[in-house]
Amino acid sequence: MRSARKPAGRLGVLATQAAFVAGILALWYLATTRWGVSRILLPSPVAVWNALVNVVTSGEFLPDLRVTLFEVAVAFAISATCGVTIGYLVSRSGFRTRVYEPLFAAMYAVPLILFLPLYVLWFGLGPASKIALGATISFFPVALNTITGFSHVDRTLVTAARSMGASGFALFRFVLLPAAFPVILAGMRLGFTVALLSIIGTEVLASLAGLGHHIVELSENMEPARMFAYVAFVVAIAAVLNFAVSLLEAWGRRW
Amino acid sequence: MVRVTEPAIRIRGVSHRFGEEGEARNVRALLDTSLDVARGELLCLIGPSGCGKSTLLNVIGGLLAPTAGKVEVLGKGVAGPMPREVAFVFQEHALFPWNTVRENVDLGMRFQGVAAAERAGRAQRALAAVGLEDFADHFPGQLSGGMRQRAALARALSLQTDILLMDEPFGALDEQTRMILGEDLSVLLAATRKTIVFVTHSLGEAVFLADRVAVFSARPGTIKQVITVDEPHPRKPDFVMSEKFTKLRNQLYGLLHDEIRKTMSAESAGPKTPGALS
């Protein structure tokens, strides 16, 4: 009985979620058609869908998507490299771990996006300021997880490897790194998500190009249907990218 | 020149203390222990928990530097791990969970410095010896506890060392599994002629496997008595039913019983003496 109820429970959850989304869409539709909410404030879902089809088929999103993805890729490459390297160096000494881990955790808790005006002053309105801020924000989860990963390697495994003659690089390559790897990957997934969020967010606030920039432009040009279509498009892109990163993380934990 | 009669392991006046004297957490684990282990002999170390048997094993293997005394292995003073002379099997199997069984065996030889061309064949033979050929490409997490210990044994055997140190290798397994593994181990080790030091909690396991059993006193541990088990290897399952087995097992029980009582009362009563409770 219990085992028969489980899949039904999962189906029930899915059905309720679908009904919830359908309900919101229905309310949205009624608000624009029956209850007289202005098209300027809230475009109808049909108009948004048509705009989305138009945006995707025309390929007009490509230049902005390219800018945003470039910024995310560079920012993440910087934060992943620095986060793993610095995290490893910190984790090698108990003293450094006790000094830096709380500092990194505290800085991660600060809304670093507040530093955007400063970054724009330093790096200009172009991609450089987005990359710098995205890299700064995503550095912390990567570094923190790297420290945790390397500090919690099972001592028995290290002892066993030493008894078989492992030391130095072999110990790092075959024991410490694979032991810490899943935790580091989890940090990278978090880092990637915050890099993506903060870069699109900063594009909205101060930029010359990118998906976030385009959304603000559409809003200022009073094109709400296209603006909503772009928001939906960004949500879809973010979901695809996060899914890809989650797959990578699952692969890292396959054992 | 090394004479054949020279012991494989020579332990002289070894003492060990964890932590510094005067510190709250300082523990005298081992006190002035001396012992020889002959070549090809299987010696069991048995004693109450905390008596220092595992400490002694780690000192022999060079994983721990003793605070006093010295150990020689195959005529050489021990100053650190000796991967070419000594292999370990640990209680918690210590297999790398991200590697398959075959990769685990291969990695041990790689650490030891065996050429790549030779490793595959040696890994295959070691896995066959413990009956794990069909599970070579499984991850440790996909195996039962007994199979994991077989895999750990295969890794140790593939290293082809003269000496094997086993720290309660079957300690985490259930009674039936450890009985079967014990029988298999006796057959396997009779064929390899290795020198083995085997730490155990189980009286039956000690009598069944060992040529000699060294009984430890309570902490700080030292060897109280050494009992000889005069029975050829490989041992048959019938040996367990023999009168000789029962007599030796009872003798061990008698020796251990008092030491375990001492350990227990030291742990529960602190400075009090037994009987002072009433």
Q: Model-level pTM? A: 0.79
Rounded CA-CA distance B153/B236 in Å is: 21
Contacts of residue A162 in chain B, CB cutoff 8 Å?
A: 63, 81
> With an 8 Å Cβ cutoff, are A255 and B112 in contact?
no
B209: CATH? 3.40.50.300
Domain that holds residue A233: 58-252
Residue A53 lies in a domain: no
Which CB contacts under 8 angstroms, 24+ apart, belong to A208-216? A208/A125, A208/A126, A209/A63, A209/A64, A209/A67, A209/A127, A210/A64, A210/A67, A210/A68, A210/A71, A210/A127, A210/A130, A211/A61, A211/A64, A211/A65, A211/A67, A211/A68, A211/A237, A212/A68, A213/A64, A213/A67, A214/A61, A214/A64
Based on the fold, state whether residues A127 and A222 are members of the same structural domain.
yes
> With an 8 Å Cβ cutoff, are B81 and A157 in contact?
no
ipTM value for the complex: 0.83
pLDDT one digit per residue (tens) for chain A, 255 residues: 444 455 568 888 999 999 999 999 999 999 888 888 887 788 888 889 999 998 889 988 888 889 999 999 999 999 999 999 999 999 998 899 999 999 999 999 888 888 888 998 999 888 899 999 999 999 999 999 999 999 999 999 999 999 999 988 999 999 999 999 999 999 999 999 899 989 998 988 888 888 888 898 888 888 888 899 999 998 898 889 888 888 888 887 777
Output Rg (C-alpha) for chain B, integer angstroms. 19
Q: Which residues of chain B have pLDDT under 50?
A: 1-2, 270-278
Distances A185 to A130, A147, A241, A246 between C-alpha atoms, Å = 23, 12, 15, 9
Based on the fold, state whether residues A74 and A10 are members of the same structural domain.
no
> Tell me, what's the pLDDT at B83?
93
> Tell me, what's the pLDDT at A6?
58
Rounded CA-CA distance A221/A224 in Å is: 8
> With an 8 Å Cβ cutoff, are B96 and A165 in contact?
no
> With an 8 Å Cβ cutoff, are A255 and B88 in contact?
no
Cβ-based burial of A197 (10 A; exposed 0-12, middle 13-18, buried ≥19):
middle
Read off the tokens for B198.
Answer: 């085997």
> Tell me, what's the pLDDT at B272?
43
CA distance B90 to chain A (A): 8
Task: Name the residue of chain A whose CA is nearest to B100's CA.
Answer: A255
Rounded CA-CA distance B119/B111 in Å is: 11
DSSP, collapsed to helix, strand or coil, labels residue B273 as: coil
CA distance B211 to chain A (A): 25
A116: CATH? 1.10.3720.10
Residue B158 lies in a domain: no
> Using CB atoms, which residue from B83, B90, B97 is nearest to A255?
B97
Q: How many domains does chain B have?
A: 1
Contacts of residue B88 in chain A, CB cutoff 8 Å?
A: 160, 163-164
Residue B107 lies in a domain: no
